[in-house]
Chain A
Amino acid sequence: MGACPFGKDGGEMNPKLKEKILESLAAVLPITLIVMVLSVVLVPMDVGTSVMFTVGAVLLVFGMGLFQLGAEIAMTPLGEGIGVEMERVKRVPVIVGIAFLMGVIITIAEPDLQVLAQQVPSVPNKVLIYAVAVGVGTFLALAVMRILKRISLSKMLLVLYGLLALVSIFVPKDFLSIAYDAGGVTTGPITVPFIMAMGVGMAAVRSDKNAANDSFGLVALSSVGPILAVALLGCFYNPQNTVYTATEVPQVITTQDVALEFMHGLPHYMLEVAMSILPIIAVFAIFQFATHRYQKRQRTRILVGFAYTYVGLVLFLCGVNVGFGPVGTVLGRELARSHKWLLVPIGMLIGFFIVKAEPAIQVLNRQIQGVTNGSISAKAMNRCLSIGVAVSVGMAMLRVVTGLPIQYILIPGYVLALTLSFIVPPIFVGIAFDSGGVASGPMTTTFLLPLSIGACETMGGNVMSDAFGVVALVALTPLIAVQIMGVMYRIKTSRMKRVVVPAFDGRDDIIEFEEGV
């Protein structure tokens, strides 16, 4: 009895703790090693920067582990609980109202949104933040209505993306990349586990055969909201100039410099994460007060989980922003200068391994494995997303090198994704469009974006139109990759059916056993 993390046999480590540590190592180590190898072989990096990167990686491992644990014992049970109780509410306006409010509250607090707002100076920060928040709220409410009114997700997505395409025509070209990036950015590491779990909860108490399919799709629709909101703002404000803040590469020489860099970053992320987690804690308090759903021990566990989530995210964001961001810029610059032709293959390699280090991805995969009872395994999802993101980073680098307009990739991409959505089993549609929003998390914005900005600057391209958009691409390819997995699944199951059904003559009736042979 006690908080000793070791099993009662002594020496043996607590299996849960061990699992989490191994999981986060598996997520963070590959990308760390690749960057290390690159820094030795292709892009010489000064020792200070690489020490900073290593410290960042260590923070990432701990942050990732704590975040996963927190999502598991706090965010997921809370989201599921809200989903379950929401479905019991009898009046439509109340349900829709709750969904809308949830969307708004969660989004306003999203730290990534503040960063986005600063990148678009022509629109007042407050206007942009509220517009995006209302966008998410409206679309989350729509997503809930969709489930209740049984509108097919594919049709709904078709209509919404059609609308989006229409609006895109009127959006200034420089602004388009930012708008699509906004969709991927706003569904961050706090929003995703929470909204995902809400969908699972709503489906968990239903007994019809569509229940599992409807577990997914909330994040998918919620991430259309911000794109539309930012695109509309772009039409009205007609921004002339958008600026971006390139990640500065700080001069670090001694280990003390490294420590100072992290010490400077820490308070900022402590405040930022506190701002985004407090609304969720408030939601928990109100929800518990209204429904008394959680028993004593569960309540304590959820609160402990919030603490894990908080510490985990602070460590993670600090590690990735301070340690990884500058390295992304350096890597992009140097590669573009000396090995231009290597940008695409190296981008693909990085993309393949970086998606595993997105904190919300493991939560998504676990959720999927749970709902499908293992028939879509976390392993299969990981492989699928890795291939998808590898392709998208490759394409993003290709854009940096060639200046190919983003529409040339986005339009055929979405047409393909939407077409597939009418072919594959419905559950894959929900999972695919959800994972698009999930794949583009803090790792993408703090490492991949600086990477392409760095490369673009060196090549002398237009940063606004050529470098941005990497987030949008990372959000696009999973839609296609996961749905292709769905097509393969369909082919495989139809083949299996043919094999399993042997010739059987006669009726099937019941045989009773008597003991004893």
Chain B
Amino acid sequence: MNRCRPPHPCFQKAFAGVFESSADMPADFNWAVGGEAGDGIDSTGKIFAQALSRAGRHVFTSKDFASRIRGGYTAYKIRTAIDPVESIVDRLDVLIALTPRTIEENLDELHQGSIIIYDGERTTMENVTIPEGMVGVDVPLKRLAEEAGGAIMRNVVALGAACAVTKFPIENLDSALEKRFSSKGTALVENNQAAARAGQAYVDEEYDIDAPEYHLEETDADYVLLNGDQAIGMGAIAAGCRFYAGYPITPATAVMEYLIGRIERFGGHVLQAEDELSAINMALGAARAGARSMTATSGPGIDLMTETFGLVATSETPLVIVDVMRSGPSTGMPTKQEQGDLNTLVYGGHGEVPRFVVAPTTIAEAFWKTVEAFNLAERYQTPVYVVADLAMAVTEQTFPHEVFDMDAVEIDRGRLVDATGLDEWSVDGKFTPHAVTDDGVSPRVLPGTPGGVHMSTGLEHDAFGRRTEDTSVRIEQVDKRQRKFDVAQAAEPLEPRSFGADDADTLVISWGSNEGAIVEAMELLDGPVRFLSVPYLSPRPDLTAAVEAASQVIVVECNATGQFADLIEHDTMTRVERINKYDGVRFKADELAAAIAERSQMEVPA
């Protein structure tokens, strides 16, 4: 037990010893703020992440949270470094603990020399025990906040204290506070900045902390900081999406919250539907009318949308449907990570429905794959699933702004025909919206076009869109719709993202948001690994050659049964090993390195 309260006579000595014993700190720094839901943890964490980003540091955040408005435990964690960071690790260097439970929940990540900032004057924290070897920094957060203008700024005082222990230039925090509060007036901004300074001054005066390993240096770099849901929303607007209908569901709601207030500036509209059945049908209606249209949901919503998904495909309507996966089945663990929807996205629905399933592997890719999804949807007149997951959706990450180069966005509306092109695609004066073509793609005319009148239906239909049960027309239309995907398989760049040594014996394959953790895990391993990160699940790249070339194949994914591993085995007719995680927490680089090492001849050097 090491309960240091200034001016404790043993403090300096104890502190010095602690840091001497942990001289081998890596260049990254791990920080968290934790408390009860309702304590403002999320916004506090975001402000600090923003400050780090303003300081030209890379940031990768994660959240521990429970599905309730108040109570429970919630934490916002930040990993930061000068170099890009793409994963979380099992280590916490500085923790702001608003509750005793915050310390308990993080005992496995705290280590010798970790600094715990807390308010010893808070009733629940009075008798808190700082674990052996760690450093307690007791700051009267509430009292200092009250002096600065209000107890509500308690967390900002703690951020100031965090600046003090990390020697982080507080001007960056000023700037983040201004961004957060400027819409509410300068007085509020200034009060918060004063509160932060009070926290910083208190620590500087009462403690003599010398922890160079934790010093947070600035760089000249300019980064943007955003999460996966925001990247999807921004990608949608960039791609020309003008209509969005959705029903709130964790963790997809933030896509709708991003779009509302922004898409209107580009002539679009967001509508909160009464349920997911309605949301997808509204989106379908808008798409039939000719707007680029999207809905986003999570697994339970996908279940409800599945019947209409078949209609979208059969009526050959371009539509983007985003699944931000969470832990299932049923209500499952709605605020926890999982990649359990793969089978339902690739196979779900009655009858046989060819479809695109695109799974971005990073937050930046979430932007670009959303843009691409809209182009695929219109090029092939078909629904496209974009698959993200909770870990990606709620993680804030820094990128150079050039990554989101709007000038590089291209819009391809496919075989869209106006009134002048109708003749070419008409038979006996009637337009053929389902004309049988070599590539399976038919001409598309938008309602309002003179002379293009036609009906679209979920019934099997002929080239004109008229209902039919004619056996040869049925075969023709089924084959035509399938042919689009055969063409896409050959024409679209579906290659996986490739990392590591091409000739390594160990091949790791994964999909979705695991990419960053795997790339970092490879750096921790002492042997060569080839890693293929697959963003296309249907149609998908043929990995047979890569699988056959490796002596060991490991498929990594966040589900219990290995749904992607099943697909790989199906495609390549080779058995693969599996690393599965389904405890609700995303992969961490260090645990993943250990798991890969355990299955191979490699080790993770201490």
User: Do these two chains really belong together in a complex?
Assistant: no
